Chains A and B, each alone.
Chain A
Amino acid sequence: MMTLSILWFLIIGLLFAIFVFMEGFDFGVGMSTQLIAHDQMEREAIMSSIGPHWDGNETWLVTAGGAMFAALPIWYASLFSTYYYLLMLVLVSLIIRGVSFEFTKHAETKFGKNLWMWTFFCGSFFAPFLLVMMLTSMIQGVPLNANGDAIGLGFFDVVNWLSLVGGVAGVLLSLVHGLNFLRLRMEGPIRDRARQLNKVLYPILFAGEVVFALLVIFQTDFFTKKPVSTTIIILFIVLFSLLGYYGVLKDREGWSFVGSGLSLSTVIVLIFNGMFPRVMIGTHGNSISIANAANSHYTLTVMTIVACILVPIILIYFIWSYTLFTKRINPKDNTVKY
């Protein structure tokens, strides 16, 4: 029973890690539309670089949520009812972002195109900001009662230095990752602009990572409970960011993309490692552990069998779908019209 529920804790972590890797660059690409594009044509070309993929990428989040419900429902219930407002705003961000792909295509007026480009930008900015805020607030602990409800959750439980820095770091990492993705997918001046912006962003990101690490030391029990693994994982986050920076400086966009993606995923590893074996940290001693959040052995077995069959198949056609769209996009000659 315990082993299967731990396996599912790891699977949920893996699903979140894949989600931030994939959707991280989606969000970054969304922010790039207002940061490095000079006109509507370029904005739409940037948007089209993720046009066929964003929906599939977002499905990793839906799957992670579903897996939480299916394997550790007590966690699902506590987490999502605790972060009611944040999650609601995350959903609104994802909604306005999701429709903007289709609506931009149909917009005819300048106002319409601008509107959907800005909803695209705002959704892409606020979704990672609020999501990482939720995660970084969660690891500091919330006042849970014995039933697992955060009644009397204060504003500063959610909005504080760590969660704010975490949110900003999430946005920065996504943006850097998105710019690295654009360097892979685009032709022409946008590639250079992406690189130039990344040259500026990486030093800021490193500063942010240091502040984040310090706040993790003082605001969470990660270092007291797991000093070695936490330190190693934080080093890896920095190391992957350095790899990304190296790729930017040497113009090796492949390396920089891998580096920025892995640093995002490693943030999830840090969070899951620090929480283990808890899933919700209660400040009044009512933490929820994997053991008492988990479903029955039978359900977990069913889910494990289902996942073992389906995940490899998903990965095959998911990766295949990316191989179909490898041609670099030139904004002046963009066949994918938005």
Chain B
Amino acid sequence: MFGIGLTIVGLARFQFAMTTVFHFFFVPFSIGMGFVVAVMETMYCVKKDKVYRDMAKFWGKIFLLSFAVGIVTGLIQEFQFGMNWSEYSRFMGDVFGAPLAIEALLAFFIESVFIGIWMFTWDRFTPGWHAFMIWMTSIGTMLSAIWILAANSFMQHPTGFTIAMMGGRTRIKLTNFGDVVANPQLWRVFPHLIIAAIMTAGVVIAGMSAWGLLRKKDGENHFFKVSLKFGLWVGLVGSILTIFAGDFQTQQMIKDQPMKFAATEGIYQNTKDPAPWTVIETIDAKGHKTSGEVELPKVLSLLTYHKTTGSVKGMNTINKELNDQYGNKKFGTQMGSELDFYPPAKTLFWSFRIMTLVAFIVLVFDFLGLLFSRKNKDTIENKKWLLYCLGIGIWVPFIGNSAGWFVTEFGRYPWIVYGLFTISQAVSPSSTIGSLLFSNILYFLLFTFLGGVMVWYSRQTLHQGPYFEDKDSKQNVDPFAKEAFGK
């Protein structure tokens, strides 16, 4: 599927994809959870209703679990550029290092210090001040996203640089830091990612609350109902806004990376005018052909240009254009007369559809959930089928997030920095198949293990319910409790 064999570049790519996808299970979830927990705690400060405090505490535990796994897997990301992609680091260091360092200075310190304080000071501060700590953490996670996306946006659409000789080698030279920060890619991908992150948190909270309601344990009903409604609202609003933010970002993609867009739509030939939207098709990526389309007339024109006319360029045309622009001028003729700028079309086509489908699934189910939990006709508890759907659907946004990341990263192929540096130029010359295989296997085992443990403990936390600790501490407080004398 990824066209990866046992080559150094292939293994290094696989490792990057694996570590990023795994890291990216936890990043959007943590960003979203941090935000919603901060909102919950603020609601407690405003409404003084104890249930919101319980919610912030309980969902905070899930947040902390994902934060822990997210942070440690992020460690690999930072060092991987040097380990597996040293040529990339040398070429790109002048631009790429700065956002990473600023991310650490501006975001990681805020996150890591304030989350430490927040965890251990529930009884030390007034509710308002304690809520301030989680807000700082949440702001830290979002700032972190801005800077990592700034670095990534440069790779998608380089701005504010020249190519120059530095220290005896050809490197990118930063000329305008403001341009890197003001990169239009960045400010279009950021809202999309943050909203999708918050939606993810909403879906998980709604889903876990649904399981909580299905269990029907005494005294927890109210907690899980309030949580369910909260999660459903976050998910519904999030899914609607994600769709808009996604469209907003797509407009930039059409402009900067037409090849990526054509691939996500699976178009090889230029479309007719107006362009129909392909729902499904089979793609022959080697032969540059598609067949068996199911099409909706005019919709692609509408999606692309926001009007009912206009043809969309296909990959064959764009490949010719890219050849004129970059082909032999940059790499000479040693790679053949015609260079291959085709990204992995199947992956992109299906990733895009999965991502979009996820948003709509969340939209529909969260709408139904809210419909059945209206104030006067509250029947959600009896709608077991819906609760099961919500509970089982917890993993759906994670698939959507990964698919979105696939679109962004695979669509850049064959570039690592768009128009400047290819993936195969970027890999470490000192890498060996052995070292990469070893690290791939080790990371894979570690990730599977950690992910499994995290899911297991989240499940256990849900099973214990929101009032688990309270009972525990009551036993300790009352010296004449039955338990103190044994059974």
- A277 within 8 Å of B (CB atoms): no
The answer to the question of A98 belonging to the interface, with a C-beta cut-off of 8 Å to chain B, is: yes
Query: Which chain B residues in 123-160 approach chain A with CB under 8 Å?
Result: 124
Whether A69 contacts B100 in the complex (CB less than 8 A), given A92-B446, A296-B166, comes out as: yes
Within 8 A of A (CB), among B162-177: 164, 166-168, 173-175, 177
Contact A87 B100 (CB under 8 A): no
Say yes or no: is B103 at the interface (Cβ < 8 Å to chain A).
yes
| Nearest CB in chain B: distance from A54 CB, A | 8
Q: A56-B116, A94-B72 are in contact. Are A65 and B94 (CB under 8 A)?
A: no
Distance from A13 Cβ to chain B, minimum over Cβ atoms (Å): 15
Taking the closest CB of chain B, its distance from the CB of A153, in whole angstroms, is 7
Contacts of A52 in B (CB 8 A): 116-117, 119-120
Chain A, residues 80-119, CB within 8 Å of chain B (1/0): the string is 1110110110011011101101110011100000000000
Q: Are B90 and A77 closer than 8 Å at their CB atoms?
A: yes
A310 within 8 A of B: yes
Cβ B457 vs Cβ A106 within 8 A: yes
Residue in B86, B105, B168 whose CB lies within 8 Å of A78 = B86
When distances are taken between beta carbons in the complex, the residues of chain B under 8 Å from A99 are 68-69, 72, 450, 453
State whether A55 and B112 are in contact (beta carbons under 8 Å apart), knowing that A84-B430, A95-B75, A324-B121 are contacts in the complex: yes
**C-alpha gap A55/B109 in the complex (Å):** 9
User: Does B182 sit at the interface, judged by CB under 8 A?
Assistant: no
How far, in angstroms, from A79 to B89 measured CA to CA in the complex?
11
Chain A residues with CB below 8 A from B167, complex form: 74, 291-294
What residues on B are CB-neighbors of A336 within 8 Å?
120
A200 at interface (Cβ–Cβ under 8 A)?
A: no
Interface centre among B75, B173, B457 (most CB of A within 10 A): B75
B residues 75-124 in Cβ contact with A at 8 Å: 75-76, 78-79, 81-84, 86-87, 89-90, 92-98, 100-106, 108-117, 119-121, 124
CA distance A208 to B153 in the complex (A): 49
Q: Are A299 and B98 in contact (CB under 8 A)?
A: yes
The residue in chain B whose Cβ has the minimal distance to the Cβ of A64 is B104
Q: Kindly state whether residue A214 has any CB partner on chain B within 8 Å.
A: no
Q: Which of A314-338 contact B (CB under 8 A)?
A: 314, 317-318, 321, 324-325, 336
Query: Does A227 belong to the interface (CB within 8 Å)?
Result: no
How many Å lie between the Cα of A70 and that of B89 in the bound state?
10
Contact of A150 among B76, B81, B112, B430 (CB under 8 A): B430
Interface size class of B (residues with CB under 8 A): 35 or more
B98:A70 contact, CB within 8 angstroms = yes
The residue among B65, B105, B174 with the most chain A CB atoms within 10 A of its own CB is B105
A165–B119 CA distance with the chains assembled, in angstroms: 38
Residues of A within 8 A of B115 (CB): 55
Tell me if B278 is interfacial: C-beta within 8 Å of chain A.
Answer: no
Residues of B within 8 A of A298 (CB): 173-175, 177
Verify A103–B104 contact, CB threshold 8 A. no
Chain B residues with Cβ below 8 Å from A55 are 71, 111-113, 115-116
In the assembled complex, the Cα of A56 lies from the Cα of B119 at a distance in Å of 13
Asked whether B297 is an interface residue with its Cβ less than 8 Å from the other chain, the reply is no
Contacts of B101 in A (CB 8 A): 63, 66-67, 69-71, 303, 306
B30 interface contact, C-beta 8 A? no
Question: Chain A residues near B119 (CB, 8 Å)?
Answer: 51-52
Which residues of A (33-56) have their CB < 8 Å from a CB of B? 51-56
Residues of B within 8 A of A153 (CB): 430
Chain A contacts for B439, CB-based, 8 A:
84, 88
Chain B residues, CB < 8 A from A84: 83, 430-431, 435, 439
Contacting A at CB under 8 A, from B44-60, are: none
The interface size bin for chain A is 35 or more
Nearest-neighbor residue (CB-CB) of A55 within chain B: B112
Question: Contact between B93 and A59 (Cβ–Cβ < 8 Å)?
Answer: no
Contacts of A71 in B (CB 8 A): 97, 101
Do residues B460 and A108 form an inter-chain contact, with CB atoms below 8 A? yes
The chain A residue with its CB closest to the CB of B83 is A80
Whether the Cβ atoms of A80 and B86 lie closer than 8 Å is yes
Residue of B nearest to A80 (CB): B82
Chain B residue with the shortest CB-CB distance to A108: B460
Q: Which single residue of chain A is at the shortest CB-CB distance from B166?
A: A296
- Given known A92-B442, A299-B94, contact A106–B450 (CB-CB < 8 A): no
What is the distance, in angstroms, from B163's C-beta to the closest C-beta of chain A? 12
Are B120 and A51 within 8 A (Cβ)? yes
Contact of B430 among A54, A65, A98, A149 (CB under 8 A): A149
Set B79, B103, B113, B124: member contacting A56, Cβ < 8 A: B113
| B435 cross-chain contacts in A, Cβ below 8 A | 84-85
- State whether the Cβ of B64 lies closer than 8 Å to any Cβ in chain A: yes
Question: A310 to B83, Cβ gap below 8 A?
Answer: no
> Are the C-beta atoms of B83 and A147 separated by less than 8 Å?
no
Contact of A325 (CB < 8 Å), options: B120, B174, B177, B457 = B120
A69 to chain B, nearest CB (A): 3
Contact A76/B97 with A62-B78, A82-B430, A95-B450 known, Cβ cut-off 8 Å: yes
In the complex, the chain A residue whose C-beta lies closest to that of B98 is A70
Shortest distance between the CB of A143 and any CB in chain B (Å): 10
Q: Does A58 contact B (CB under 8 A)?
A: yes
| Cβ-closest chain A residue relative to B439 | A88
Q: Does B221 sit at the interface, judged by CB under 8 A?
A: no
A232 within 8 A of B: no
Does A94 lie within 8 Å of B75, measured CB to CB? yes
Tell me the bound Cα distance from A45 to B431 in angstroms: 43
Across the interface, do B446 and A79 meet the contact criterion of CB distance under 8 Å? no
User: What are the residues of chain B within 8 A of A306 when measuring CB–CB?
Assistant: 98, 101-102, 105-106
- Rounded to whole Å, the gap between the CB of B438 and the closest CB of chain A is 8
Q: Is the CB of A66 within 8 A of B104?
A: yes
Q: Pick the residue among B82, B166, B453 that contacts A103 (CB under 8 A).
A: B453
Chain A proximity of B97: nearest CB distance (Å): 3
Residue of A nearest to B113 (CB): A56
- Interface residue ranges, A against B (CB under 8 Å): 51-56, 58-59, 62-63, 65-71, 73-74, 76-82, 84-85, 87-88, 91-92, 94-96, 98-99, 101-103, 106-108, 147-151, 153, 291-296, 298-299, 302-303, 306-307, 310-311, 314, 317-318, 321, 324-325, 336
Closest 4 CB pairs of A and B: A73-B93, A80-B82, A70-B97, A292-B167
A-B CB contact pairs (8 Å), 25 listed: A52-B119, A55-B71, A55-B115, A55-B116, A62-B75, A63-B101, A66-B97, A67-B104, A70-B93, A77-B87, A78-B86, A81-B430, A81-B431, A87-B79, A92-B446, A98-B68, A99-B450, A147-B429, A149-B429, A295-B94, A295-B166, A303-B98, A306-B102, A310-B102, A336-B120
Question: Apart from A69-B101, A150-B430, what 17 extra A-B contacts exist at CB < 8 Å?
Answer: A51-B116, A52-B119, A55-B116, A62-B75, A63-B101, A66-B78, A69-B100, A70-B100, A84-B83, A88-B83, A99-B68, A103-B68, A106-B65, A153-B430, A292-B167, A295-B93, A321-B117
